[in-house]
Amino acid sequence: MATTKRNAGLTHLDAARRPTMVGVGGKAVTHRVAEAEARMRLPAAVARALRATGHRTAKGPVFDTAIIAGVMAAKRTAEFIPFCHPLPIEHCNIEIAAGNRHELRIRCRVETHHKTGVEMEALTGASVAALTIYDMCKALSHDIRIVDVVLLHKSGGRRAVGRARVRP
């Protein structure tokens, strides 16, 4: 198979184009930060029902449970993404906010001091928090949609992505 410009920079392939874990032994330890966001769209009736109950269902407090699940998932990312390095997560914060038109925004921010970044942990935390909300609300409707999961920001390594939010 010929190497193209598009796949020439893939880091998880060795010279024979076989899957491999990236070696980070020679990298410097730096403060690594990543923030990801998942967006969900709720049917109007589901959004109304959640507001009316203080974001609780028969399964319990929806947002609180999603926050716990997202943090747990971020801490265990290396267990189910094959080439992720196990990282000592120093901080993980998940915020859930109701947006316009029955939309939820779930942001996950992860920090560590290490030789590799935490973007996969932030993406995993936001994704699992969204999946938890879906699970807790699916009795109300299966028309709930997870419409986007994106990396908003990463810093501390060779390449920065996006811009960090200003924190109060």
Task: Give the catalytic positions in this structure.
Answer: 135
Cβ count near 53 (within 10 Å): 12
Give the C-alpha separation, 168 to 154, whole Å: 19
Transcribe 135-154 into DSSP letters: HHHTTT-S--EEEEEEEEEE
Residue with tokens 């120093």: 90
